[in-house]
Structure 1
C-alpha cells in the first residue's frame, strides 16, 4: 500500500493499529516488518478500539465484553448446523432460549450469563457507548480530514462525555439500550 502511493517507509513516523495479531505480531506482523526498515517507527494502539476501552472501565466491564465476544463466536462457529439453527431461531425467538435448548456446558454458561440482570445492565451500557464510539471512529476516518478537523471531533466527543454522564443519571436520552433495559425491570 505504501509503495502503491509512493510513500517511503523511512518517512513514516507512526502507525496506529487495533492490536490484531496480523498488525502487531512480533515476527510477521505489519508493524514488526515496517520496523525492520524503519526502527524509529512509533506504533500506537487505537484509542477507540472497543474491547480495550471496555477493559479500561473496569475488570467487570472487560469480563462482560469478553463473555459476549466468546458467546457470539460460540454461536457462529460451533458448527454449520448450529449456525443454521441459530439463524432460523433468531427469526422466531431469543438467544437465551436458543442456548437453553442446546446440550452443552458452554451453552448453559452463556444462557445463565444472559439471565444475569447486572451483566445485562453492563451489556446495555456497552452497546450504547460503543455506538457513540463508532460514530467518533467514523469521523476520524477517511480522506481529506485535516488535523484540525480530527481534533475538533475529539474535543467535541470529550464535551459529549460530560453530557453522557449527566444523562446516565437522568432520562438516558443518549443511551436508548440502557433505558430499555431499565424499563424492562419495572
Structure 2
C-alpha cells in the first residue's frame, strides 16, 4: 500500500499542471540516534494545490549538505524526476542546508539556478520566540535542573510518582526539556508549575545541598511569580505554534496569524502596564497568593519581555 501511494504521488508530479513542484525537507535525529531525512512536496493538480509526503530516508553516516543533496538526487533519478522541475525549496536555517557552496542550497543552485530557496517560517518563529530576559532565563534553567535531578534517577522518578499519587495530583510524571522539540519548554514549565507543591515536598525530604537550593527557590514568591508567567506565555506561544502547523498552510496564512500575535502582544503589554493580568491566569494567582509582594518588579519584567518578543517576531 505504501509503495502504491508513493507511485501515485510521483505520477501526479510528472503530470502536474505547471510542470513544476516545490519541496520542503528537514533532517533530524530521532530517539534511536538515527539521522532521518524527510521530504514533502507541493504541486498543482487540476485547479488546486496538493501537498504530500514524498519520502523518508535514513542518513547512515554524515549529515552534510552534500549528503542530503545526494540522497534527494538518488531518489529523483530512481523515480524519473528532475531538478529542473523544482521551482522552490524550503529548509530550516542549519548551515548544512543554507551553505552557498557545499551546503544543500549551493548544490541545488548548481543543477538548477532558477530554484527559489526559502527559510521555513515556523522555524524562524520558533527561534524568535526563544527570546528571554536574563531573569526569566535563570528561572527556566532552574526548572530544567529540577526536572533533571529527578528524571536522572530511576528511584527518584518512582518516589516522586508515589508522592504525586499521595497528593492526589492529576499528573504524576515530569517532562524532560529538549532544545530541538519546540513545544517542550512550555510543556516542561507548565508541568513544574502544576506540581510545584509536590516538588517542594520531595526536595524537603532530601538533605542534599542542591535539593535545599531547589526548596528555597520553590518557596521564593518572586521566583514562583516568574515561573507562573513563563507557564502562561509559553502556553500562548505553543498554541500559536500549533496553529501554524498542518497541511495546506500558505505564507499569507502565516503572515495573518503573525500580525495577529504581534498585535496581541502589544495589547497585553498595555494591559500589564495598567495592572491588568486577566490574560495571564497563573501569574495573577501567584501574585494573589504572595499578597502582591514584588508585583511592580515582575510587572516591569513582563512588559520588557513582551516588548522584546514583539520586536523579535
TM-score (norm 2): 0.48
1:62 matched to 2:134? The reply is no
CA deviation after TM superposition for structure 1 residue 171, in Å? 3.1
Task: Provide the residue aligned with 1:81 in structure 2.
Answer: 155
Distance 2:251 2:231 in 1: 29
Distance 1:14 1:57 in 2: 27
Q: Could you report, residue by residue, the CA deviation over 1:68-116 in whole angstroms, capped at 9, with x for unpaired residues?
A: 1121122222x11110111111231521121111122221121112122
Alignment partner of 1:145: what SS?
coil
The 1:173/1:153 distance shift into structure 2, 3 A limit, reads: same
Task: Provide the residue aligned with 2:199 in structure 1.
Answer: 95
Distance 1:33 1:154 in 2: 25
Task: Provide the residue aligned with 1:28 in structure 2.
Answer: none
Indicate the RMSD between aligned Cα atoms, in angstroms. Answer: 2.9
Task: Provide the residue aligned with 1:152 in structure 2.
Answer: 256
Computing the radius of gyration over CA atoms, which structure comes out larger, 1 or 2? 2
Q: For the Cα contact (< 8 Å) 2:96–2:103, is it kept in 1?
A: no
The 1:85/1:46 distance shift into structure 2, 3 A limit, reads: farther
Task: Provide the residue aligned with 1:15 in structure 2.
Answer: 91
Q: 1:47 aligns with which of 118, 121, 125?
A: 125
Task: Provide the residue aligned with 2:286 in structure 1.
Answer: 181
Q: Which moved more, 1:147-156 or 1:167-176?
A: 167-176
TM-score (norm 1): 0.76
Q: For the Cα contact (< 8 Å) 1:48–1:133, is it kept in 2?
A: no
Task: Provide the residue aligned with 1:20 in structure 2.
Answer: none
Unaligned 5+ residue runs, structure 2?
1-37, 41-52, 56-70, 74-82, 107-116, 168-196, 292-313
The 1:145/1:14 distance shift into structure 2, 3 A limit, reads: closer
Alignment partner of 1:5: what SS?
strand
Task: Provide the residue aligned with 1:2 in structure 2.
Answer: 39
Q: For the Cα contact (< 8 Å) 1:168–1:175, is it kept in 2?
A: no
CA deviation after TM superposition for structure 1 residue 43, in Å? 6.5
Q: Could you report, residue by residue, the CA deviation over 1:124-154 in whole angstroms, capped at 9, with x for unpaired residues?
A: 1111000110111011111111111111111
1:38 matched to 2:87? The reply is no
Q: For the Cα contact (< 8 Å) 1:86–1:98, is it kept in 2?
A: yes
Q: Which has the higher helix share?
A: 1
Q: Which has the higher strand share?
A: 2
Task: Provide the residue aligned with 1:105 in structure 2.
Answer: 209
Q: For the Cα contact (< 8 Å) 2:225–2:286, is it kept in 1?
A: yes
CA deviation after TM superposition for structure 1 residue 180, in Å? 0.7
Distance 1:149 1:43 in 2: 16
